[in-house]
Amino acid sequence: MAAFQTTAVSTPRANHWLEPNWAEITAIANETSDVSTYWLKFVDPSMQANYSFKPGQFNMIHLPGFGEAAISISSDSGERDKIGHTIRFVGNVTRAVSRLKVGDVIGLRGPFGTSWPVEEMEGKDIFIASGGIGLPPLRPVIYHIMRNREKYGKVTLLYGARTARDLMYPSEYENWRQAGIDVEVSVDRSDANWPGRVGVVPMWFYQFRIDARKTVVLTCGPEIMIRFVIFEALARRIPLENIYVSLERNMKCGQGSCGHCQLGPYFVCKDGPVFRFDALQPYFNLEEF
């Protein structure tokens, strides 16, 4: 163990919402040039055994000397022995994470936030529209559906990235397809080796046959993509209450105390990140959105 061991491996905290518990990096998978998935296991075995989360929730990743960042849990909520976080290296905390190695430890607070409505959407067709780093918070939904495939109707994942090199988890698509999920992938810019779709997610979304009465749409990605997916979904007469969106906002405390992530009457950390769109619609035109 290296970097953050000195302060990190202390007694596990009882209140995991306020103080971090320490988790060891057991593996690192490089997804793209600036995104990696970190597989973590709590140093305290009882903490690991008792930790659970719902698809769509996030942890605050804590690095002593650098601060904290909200990061979605990208692993299978049915797997109790490890926790996955897929992280893009963009700023202070995440760039510091990029320098960590297997065996280093990291602080985690959580899980926080609302989750995708995996139970409420049983019996429905599911349309997942996702872009870029918006796929990690939706991957636990995909795993949940795979484990409970008979409970859902037609399931489509439409996923887009800037280029083929920016796609998350490409080695998993075949498994997802074999589990009965229609995985449709598109890139904004192609090269001669790309055999698939080219164009942005909302553009392709328009082309799919959707039964508006029984389809639930889940969307996460760049806000411009979310905005156009929602416009298209509404144009297809999908009811507001069947559209769910996960939002990212700068946040600090993760538990609705500091107000950093406020959106209208909501705290994204506590009332979100997953919102049913009918709740969000009045604030949809706020400047930041």
Ligand X SMILES: Cc1cc2nc3c(=O)[nH]c(=O)nc-3n(C[C@H](O)[C@H](O)[C@H](O)COP(=O)(O)OP(=O)(O)OC[C@H]3O[C@@H](n4cnc5c(N)ncnc54)[C@H](O)[C@@H]3O)c2cc1C
For binding to ligand X (CB under 6 A), which residues are involved? 58, 67, 69-72, 86-88, 90-94, 133, 136-137, 248-249, 251, 273
Q: Report the nearest approach of ligand X to the CB of residue 268 (Å).
A: 6
- Tell me the two tokens of residue 31: 């997804």
Give the residue with the Cβ less far from ligand X, 214 or 249.
249
Give the residue with the Cβ less far from ligand X, 93 or 129.
93
The CA distance from 132 to 189, in Å, is: 13
The CA distance from 269 to 57, in Å, is: 9
Residue nearest to ligand X (CB): 91
Q: Report the nearest approach of ligand X to the CB of residue 103 (Å).
A: 22
Q: Report the nearest approach of ligand X to the CB of residue 11 (Å).
A: 26
The CA distance from 153 to 83, in Å, is: 28
Q: Report the nearest approach of ligand X to the CB of residue 279 (Å).
A: 16
Give the residue with the Cβ less far from ligand X, 23 or 87.
87
Q: Report the nearest approach of ligand X to the CB of residue 267 (Å).
A: 11
Strand-pair partners of 28: 38
